[in-house]
């Protein structure tokens, strides 16, 4: 039997990469392949679901074995895998560019720089690289990967959106009873995701259109300095309790935030795919987003895409148009549901399975 084992620096259940890794494992096993998940550390993983990567010692009983590396940051694991003799695959999820993070978190610069270096180092030994967007695929091609295939992130939106947190839902409903629209952005607090730009546009929206509006920034933080600066910025603008930074929340709580939202606003300057765009569309929340990095590729024509460099007044006016025009909102919701279907788990798993089947058939 052939084995394709996955390796990733950190496995975090419910994260985009963690969910993707789980679905890849199911897909590989459905092809009759042996597949284990190995990581340096695992967060909220079921017992026995993820193994310490040091436990991997090589192919068992001489079976053909491939190593699939989930690449999203720098790690000593990548250097160790590059030195191993087994054939390799790389699944690339993007690495935040160093210049975007360096002013805020200098301690992360070496990790991100290592990730970029390792991406190039693995190009010479990887038989195949899978990118979750053509934006990411272009980066792989640029550093020398000979064979690059685009397969979107594998995500089970039906399962993730099935249950809500009743307590969070009640609190959101109580806030909504006071009137005003609810803006939402989901993503870790990080300078490349530009939550500060969302806050700027939101402040202008409240001043010009809806003084009772609320903004919910949902997600943990990968930059304590940026998070602290964002809190000070919100206070300096006098936004007070109208802006809530929730921190990391449970999956059920996240569903409640989506269900309570009137609009999803994404002004990120760097995204390799952006799963929350899919989640918003699945939850029938219209999207206003900046046409940056992989965002246009993921969103397609299912939301309001603003040109890069758009000022806050255009963002605020665009949100107002979406919320004030019921027919436009209906069009966007319908387009979003159609767009999400293109990324359905059945389709993406089939694409991943076909990619692996073709590779393994060719290697035989």
Supply the DSSP symbol for 58: S
pLDDT tens digit sequence for 195-233: 999 999 999 999 999 999 999 999 999 999 999 999 999
Q: What is the pLDDT of residue 342?
A: 97
- Residue 353: closest CA among 94, 88, 133, 23: 23
Q: Which residue has the tokens 């602290």?
A: 228
Q: Residue 182: beta bridge partners? A: 214
Are 246 and 113 contained in the same domain? no
Are 8 and 121 contained in the same domain? yes
Are 127 and 162 contained in the same domain? no
Q: In whole angstroms, what is the distance from residue 283 CA to residue 277 CA?
A: 10
What is the average pLDDT across 5-22?
A: 95
pLDDT tens digit sequence for 319-335: 999 999 999 999 999 99
Are the beta carbons of 306 and 288 closer than 8 angstroms?
Answer: yes
pLDDT tens digit sequence for 22-79: 999 999 999 999 999 999 999 888 899 999 999 999 998 889 999 999 999 999 999 9
Are 113 and 255 contained in the same domain? no
Sign of the alpha-carbon torsion through 137, 344, 291, 199: negative
Q: In whole angstroms, what is the distance from residue 100 CA to residue 105 CA?
A: 9
Q: Which residue has the tokens 């269900």?
A: 259
Query: Is residue 182 over pLDDT 70?
Result: yes
Q: What is the pLDDT of residue 44?
A: 87
Are 16 and 165 contained in the same domain? no
Q: Which residue has the tokens 């569903």?
A: 255
Burial 49-72 (b: 16+ CB within 10 A, else e): ebbebeebeebeeeebbbbbbbbb
Supply the DSSP symbol for 112: H
Residue 348 CA: distances (Å) to CA of 14, 96, 197, 227, 342: 18, 24, 32, 34, 8
How is 254-270 classified by DSSP, letter by letter? Answer: HHHHHHH-SEEEE--S-
pLDDT tens digit sequence for 105-159: 999 999 999 999 999 999 999 999 999 999 999 999 999 999 999 999 999 999 9
Query: Is residue 260 over pLDDT 70?
Result: yes
CATH of the domain at 23: 3.40.50.2000
Region label for 284, one of left (φ > 0), alpha (ψ between -120 and 50) or beta (otherwise): left
- Residue 226: closest CA among 141, 104, 130: 104
The percent of residues in the chain predicted with pLDDT above 70, rounded, is 100
**pLDDT band, very low/low/confident/very high, at 364 (cuts 50, 70, 90):** low
The domain in which residue 162 lies consists of 158-342
Are 36 and 122 contained in the same domain? yes
The burial of 364, by beta-carbon neighbours within 10 Å (0-12 exposed, 13-18 middle, 19 or more buried), is given as exposed
Q: In whole angstroms, what is the distance from residue 181 CA to residue 242 CA?
A: 11
The burial of 110, by beta-carbon neighbours within 10 Å (0-12 exposed, 13-18 middle, 19 or more buried), is given as exposed
Phi first, then psi: what are they for 320, rounded to 5°? -60, -45
Are 320 and 351 contained in the same domain? no
**pLDDT band, very low/low/confident/very high, at 90 (cuts 50, 70, 90):** very high
Helix axes 251-260, 275-282, angle to 10 degrees: 60
Q: What is the pLDDT of residue 62?
A: 84
Q: In whole angstroms, what is the distance from residue 302 CA to residue 288 CA?
A: 10
Are 196 and 278 contained in the same domain? yes
Residue 160 CA: distances (Å) to CA of 68, 167, 182, 244, 276: 25, 18, 21, 23, 12
Q: What is the pLDDT of residue 124?
A: 93
Q: What is the pLDDT of residue 60?
A: 87
Q: Residue 37: beta bridge partners? A: 6
Are 97 and 127 contained in the same domain? yes
Are 42 and 165 contained in the same domain? no
Task: Quote the number of domains for the chain.
Answer: 2
Are 216 and 323 contained in the same domain? yes
- CB atoms < 10 A from the CB of 344, how many? 17
Are 305 and 203 contained in the same domain? yes
Q: In whole angstroms, what is the distance from residue 16 CA to residue 129 CA?
A: 19
């Amino acid at each position: 039997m052939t084995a394709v084992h996955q390796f990733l620096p950190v496995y975090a259940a419910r994260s985009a990469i963690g969910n993707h890794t789980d679905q890849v494992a199911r897909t590989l096993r459905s092809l009759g392949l042996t597949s284990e998940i190995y990581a340096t550390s695992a967060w909220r993983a079921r017992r026995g679901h993820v193994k310490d990567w040091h436990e991997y010692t090589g192919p068992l009983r001489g079976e053909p074995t491939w190593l699939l590396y989930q690449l999203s940051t720098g790690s000593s694991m990548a250097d160790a895998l590059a030195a191993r003799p087994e054939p390799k695959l790389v699944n690339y999820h993007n690495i935040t560019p160093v210049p975007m993070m360096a002013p805020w978190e200098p301690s992360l610069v070496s990790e991100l720089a290592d990730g970029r270096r390792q991406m190039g180092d693995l190009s010479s030994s990887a038989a195949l690289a899978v990118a979750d967007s053509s934006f990411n695929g272009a980066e792989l091609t640029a550093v020398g990967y000979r064979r690059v295939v685009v397969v979107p992130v594998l995500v089970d939106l039906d399962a993730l959106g099935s249950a809500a947190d009743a307590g969070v839902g009640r609190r959101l409903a109580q806030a909504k009873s006071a009137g005003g629209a609810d803006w939402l952005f989901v993503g870790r607090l990080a300078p490349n995701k530009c939550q500060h730009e969302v806050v700027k546009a939101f402040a202008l929206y409240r001043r010009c259109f809806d003084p009772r509006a609320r903004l919910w920034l949902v997600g943990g933080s990968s930059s304590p300095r940026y998070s602290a600066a964002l809190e000070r910025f919100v206070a300096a603008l006098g936004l007070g309790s109208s802006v809530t930074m929730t921190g990391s929340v449970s999956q059920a709580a996240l569903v409640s935030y989506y269900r309570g939202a009137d609009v999803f606003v994404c002004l990120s300057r760097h995204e390799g795919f952006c799963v929350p765009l899919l989640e918003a569309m699945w939850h029938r929340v219209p999207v206003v987003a900046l046409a940056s990095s992989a965002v246009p590729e993921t969103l397609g024509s299912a939301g309001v895409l603003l040109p890069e460099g758009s000022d806050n007044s255009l963002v605020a006016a665009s949100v107002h148009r979406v919320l004030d025009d019921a027919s436009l909102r209906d069009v966007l919701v319908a387009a979003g549901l159609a767009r999400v279907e293109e990324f359905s788990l059945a389709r993406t798993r089939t694409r991943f399975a076909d990619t692996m089947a073709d590779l393994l058939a060719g290697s035989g």
